[in-house]
Structure 1
Amino acid sequence: MTPEIDTDTLSIADRERERERMRLEIMDDLDEEIELELQEEGLESGVGLSRHSFRRTYFRELVRLQSELVKMQDWVQETGYRLVVLFEGRDAAGKGGAIKRITQRLNPRICRVAALPAPTNREKTQWYFQRYVAQLPAAGEIVLFDRSWYNRAGVERVMDFCTEDEYEEFFRSVPEFERMLVRSGIKVVKYWFSITDDEQEARFRARMEDPLKQWKLSPMDLESRRRWERYTRAKEVMLERSSIEEAPWWVVQAVDKKRARLNCIHHLLAQVPYEPVTRPEVVLPPREYNADYVRQPTPESMIVPEIY
């Protein structure tokens, strides 16, 4: 059942602002498809973007940065570099959108996303970091964590899913855990996506109104909204107690989704000392023809109906 917005408490101006924010949320979803289309066309026309100058800049910069990500990927594969990137932030902060733009043009065999579900009963009895260790990259791989071991410092703390002793043990362990990763040759980059109270509320309301996004709103998300201030305090403690020289926290200002994506990708590229990799020229081999081969017709019953 879709939660209802109490429109009686909103003024006409407030309602207009709500409608505009919801429209922008819908446009943001459409932009994902526009991005792919414009990239395929080489951004030659820019159709429909003349009235939105930054959107045009955004598409062009996104394609440029994604081409650099491909270069970084090639270098990572060539050199055996290992990269871990953590994405943390409140619900609806834009982590998933940033991850999607990073992976959009990359090889999923080299760059993969780790988005772990709630731990099983067995996993709850293991060393806390154990299930995350299984996701770490081998040589020549990039792993993007859509939420990470910092769940303990965030949602578990706020929702009382861990004890005070477990919470304190986490902060004793996490600096050494990350230093161990760095000493082993893994680059660890940590991003916190920061949004305002008003912006999160607007994004939640947009999800409530959009049938394609309602699945993103779980009871946990709604409860996290109620506990905004507890999350704020938990975040402040997390940044203070776990930002170390070997793996510092970086805060992405994420109220503007498009600027946040560009800024995050630009910053990520600067964290990796990649260089262009020379690849051998690709030559298409001549096709072989056999005089005795006759192509068999595909049965009509197997053909997907051409509705479009």
Structure 2
Amino acid sequence: MNNLICRALSMASHEGDFATCIPHLSLFRRDSPTPSPMPVIYQPSIYMVLQGAKAAFLGKERYLYDTMHYLVSCVPLPLEGQILQASSDTPYLAARISLDTQMINELLVEMPLEPKPQSLSEHTADALSPASRGIYVSAIHSDIQNTLSRLLDFAQSKVKAHVLGQLALKELIYYVLNDEHGALLRSFACQDRQQYQIANVLQYINRHYALTMDIPSLASKANMSESSFYHHFKAATNTSPIQYIKTVRLHAAKRKMLFEQYNATAAAYEVGYTSTSQFSREYRRLFSVPPAQDARILTRV
């Protein structure tokens, strides 16, 4: 693990988020813990901690991942994240591998029948998460750790990254798919599974959040009845479709104020709100500050 940390520190020499020469691989560094959980949308990815520890909260469910456990978000999920262990001398370091559906399906074609699902790690939602949830934590084993080490090595060279990076990514995802809870990830990638239809709807919401949406139209996209759609949607995300849409819109508004210098009113209309008072109430409920105040702070960052 020391070699992993040295490689990561050479590419992440200060706090921030860092892309690498290998598509789908990025690094994160933070030099202090998070005082309290912060709202964030986890994209479909594998998150591996090289140093420190972090917790993700989905409602009342808690997912702890550290140097011995990695987290998989199979679908886009609005969570709260909290870095638990970090300092300037021992910063929090993590690698994120964004999930490539095409690569997963290519691997699934070549792989044998999936193993029977096993009981979830105690790190996953305090052992309370249902098997159909779109997020889980699993223990890191030597094959995954060795592949991640080679992946970070390749990321330090453009030539190696171009020639060998994708092979190492494919190998790492292979091990994750065959790991103790890999059947959960498979279920969101297989086109004949209901979880796959839910994953498609979640991607649709994240791409088109400003459009008017309702449960009948979303259920139709998933080719499900409304009751079946609601049940499977909540099983995957631990929230209702309407609440999920609200959360995605609010995160999008925050990004627009931070990165595109929108004021609060403009951001509200841009993400699909027709009432600025409703936007203000829901924004404050999620982020604990009014949007106008947040906009002033964000545009000064």
Name the TM-score, length of structure 1 as normaliser: 0.25
**Greater relative CO (CA pairs within 8 A, separation 6+):** 1
Name the one with the larger strand percent.
Answer: 2
